[in-house]
Chains A and B, each alone.
Chain A
Amino acid sequence: MTKTSLWRGWAARFALALVALLALGQIAVAQDATPSPDGATAAQMEGDALVRGLDPTAPPDGWTIPGKVGHVTNYLVHEWYQNLTKGEQARADEWGIDFSINDANLDLNKSLAAVDDYLAQNVDVLNFTPVNEEASGPKITEAATTGLPIICESSPTDGCTTLVSIDDYAAGYKVGVWAGDYVNENLDGKAVILDVGLPALSTTVNRSQGFVDGITSVLGENATVAQSVDGNGLKDVAVQVSADALTAHPDVNVIFGINDDSALGGMQSYEAAGLDMENLLVVGFGCEGNACKDALMEGGPYKVSAAMFPEYQGRLLIDAGVAAFNSTELAPHTIAPSTPMTADNLAEYYTKEGDTYTPNFEAIAAISIEGEK
Chain B
Amino acid sequence: MSAEQIASPTQIERPSGSAGSGASIAQRLLASPEGYLFAFIVLVWMFLAAKSTVFLTERNIGVLLSQVALIAVTGFGMTLLLIAREVDLSVGSMQAFVGVVAMQALNEWHYLVVGIVVAILLGVIVGTINAGLTLKLGITSFIVTLAMMQILRGAAYTSTNAAVQNEHKLSSFKRVFNGAAVEDPVRIPWPVVIMAIFFVIFSLVLAKTTFGRSLYALGSNPEAAALSGIHVWRLKTICFVVTSVMAGLSAFMLIARMNSGQNNAGFGFELQVIGAVLLGGASLAGGKGTILGTFLATLLLGSLNNGITLMGYNPNWQWAVTGIIILVAVFLDSIRRRYTQES
Return the contact of B178 from the options A77, A271, A294 (Cβ within 8 A): A271
CB of B248 within 8 Å of the partner chain: no
CB-CB under 8 A from A294, the residues of chain B are: 165
Return the contact of A244 from the options B57, B258, B306, B316 (Cβ within 8 A): B306
A267-280 to B contact mask, C-beta < 8 Å, 1/0: 01001110000000
Per the bound structure, the CA–CA distance linking A294 and B263 in Å amounts to: 19
Interface contact A229-B157, CB-CB below 8 Å: no
A193-214 to B contact mask, C-beta < 8 Å, 1/0: 0000001100000000000000
Sort chain B's interface into a size bin.
Answer: 35 or more
CB of B340 within 8 Å of the partner chain: no
* Stretch of A114-122, A126-134, A166-174, A230-238 with 4 or more beta carbons under 8 angstroms from chain B: A230-238
Interface contact A79-B161, CB-CB below 8 Å: yes
CB of B67 within 8 Å of the partner chain: yes
Residues facing A in B149-208 (CB within 8 A) are 157, 161-163, 165, 177-178
Return the contact of A230 from the options B52, B54, B263, B314 (Cβ within 8 A): B314
- Separation in Å of the A107 CB from the closest CB of chain B? 14
Interface contact B262-A272, CB-CB below 8 Å: no
Residues facing B in A223-253 (CB within 8 A) are 227, 229-230, 234-236, 239-241, 243-245, 247-248, 250
Residues facing B in A329-362 (CB within 8 A) are none
CB-CB under 8 A from B337, the residues of chain A are: none
CB of B59 within 8 Å of the partner chain: yes
Interface contact A82-B258, CB-CB below 8 Å: no
Return the contact of B163 from the options A230, A261, A271 (Cβ within 8 A): A261
Take A227-B312, A271-B178 as given contacts and tell me if A247 and B54 are in contact as well, using a CB distance cutoff of 8 Å: yes
Interface contact B157-A265, CB-CB below 8 Å: no
- Separation in Å of the B271 CB from the closest CB of chain A? 14
- Separation in Å of the B170 CB from the closest CB of chain A? 15
Interface contact B310-A234, CB-CB below 8 Å: no
Take A77-B264, A234-B264, A244-B63 as given contacts and tell me if A268 and B259 are in contact as well, using a CB distance cutoff of 8 Å: yes
Residues facing A in B26-74 (CB within 8 A) are 52, 54, 57, 59-60, 63, 66-67
Take A240-B67, A245-B309, A247-B57 as given contacts and tell me if A82 and B315 are in contact as well, using a CB distance cutoff of 8 Å: no
- Separation in Å of the A240 CB from the closest CB of chain B? 6
Identity of the chain B residue whose Cβ is nearest the Cβ of A200 in the assembled complex:
B316
Interface contact A234-B165, CB-CB below 8 Å: no
Chain A: interface residue total (CB-CB under 8 A)? 32
Interface contact A230-B315, CB-CB below 8 Å: yes
B266-296 to A contact mask, C-beta < 8 Å, 1/0: 1100000000000000000000000000000
CB of B110 within 8 Å of the partner chain: no
Per the bound structure, the CA–CA distance linking A273 and B54 in Å amounts to: 14
Interface contact A291-B257, CB-CB below 8 Å: no
CB of A289 within 8 Å of the partner chain: yes
- Separation in Å of the A257 CB from the closest CB of chain B? 13
- Separation in Å of the A292 CB from the closest CB of chain B? 10
Per the bound structure, the CA–CA distance linking A240 and B165 in Å amounts to: 18
CB-CB under 8 A from B178, the residues of chain A are: 271-272
Interface contact A247-B310, CB-CB below 8 Å: yes
CB of B124 within 8 Å of the partner chain: no
CB-CB under 8 A from A268, the residues of chain B are: 257-259
Per the bound structure, the CA–CA distance linking A94 and B177 in Å amounts to: 48
Per the bound structure, the CA–CA distance linking A264 and B257 in Å amounts to: 12
CB of B228 within 8 Å of the partner chain: no
CB of A186 within 8 Å of the partner chain: no
- Separation in Å of the A352 CB from the closest CB of chain B? 15
Identity of the chain A residue whose Cβ is nearest the Cβ of B257 in the assembled complex:
A239
Interface contact B265-A234, CB-CB below 8 Å: yes
CB of B254 within 8 Å of the partner chain: yes
Per the bound structure, the CA–CA distance linking A163 and B9 in Å amounts to: 63
Identity of the chain B residue whose Cβ is nearest the Cβ of A288 in the assembled complex:
B162
Interface contact B254-A244, CB-CB below 8 Å: no
- Separation in Å of the B247 CB from the closest CB of chain A? 14
Interface contact A261-B262, CB-CB below 8 Å: yes
CB of B260 within 8 Å of the partner chain: yes
- Separation in Å of the A293 CB from the closest CB of chain B? 11
Per the bound structure, the CA–CA distance linking A245 and B66 in Å amounts to: 15
CB-CB under 8 A from B157, the residues of chain A are: 77
- Separation in Å of the A226 CB from the closest CB of chain B? 10
Per the bound structure, the CA–CA distance linking A272 and B176 in Å amounts to: 11
Return the contact of B177 from the options A230, A241, A272 (Cβ within 8 A): A272
Interface contact A241-B258, CB-CB below 8 Å: no
Return the contact of A239 from the options B52, B161, B258, B263 (Cβ within 8 A): B258
Interface contact A290-B262, CB-CB below 8 Å: no
Return the contact of B52 from the options A229, A248, A264 (Cβ within 8 A): A248
A45-60 to B contact mask, C-beta < 8 Å, 1/0: 0000000000000000
Per the bound structure, the CA–CA distance linking A290 and B166 in Å amounts to: 12
Per the bound structure, the CA–CA distance linking A247 and B60 in Å amounts to: 6
Take A235-B265, A236-B265, A291-B260 as given contacts and tell me if A244 and B162 are in contact as well, using a CB distance cutoff of 8 Å: no
Interface contact B263-A236, CB-CB below 8 Å: no
Interface contact A243-B63, CB-CB below 8 Å: yes
Per the bound structure, the CA–CA distance linking A294 and B107 in Å amounts to: 15
- Separation in Å of the B246 CB from the closest CB of chain A? 18
Interface contact B264-A248, CB-CB below 8 Å: no
Identity of the chain A residue whose Cβ is nearest the Cβ of B164 in the assembled complex:
A291
- Separation in Å of the B279 CB from the closest CB of chain A? 19
Interface contact B165-A291, CB-CB below 8 Å: yes
Per the bound structure, the CA–CA distance linking A64 and B258 in Å amounts to: 49
CB-CB under 8 A from A240, the residues of chain B are: 67, 305
- Separation in Å of the A358 CB from the closest CB of chain B? 16
A-B contact pairs, 15 of them (CB 8 A): A79-B162, A82-B161, A236-B254, A236-B258, A243-B66, A244-B306, A245-B309, A247-B54, A247-B59, A248-B52, A261-B163, A268-B258, A272-B177, A272-B257, A294-B165
Besides A235-B262, A268-B257, 10 new A-B residue pairs in contact (Cβ under 8 A), listed by A number: A79-B161, A79-B162, A227-B312, A234-B262, A234-B264, A236-B262, A236-B265, A241-B315, A243-B63, A272-B178
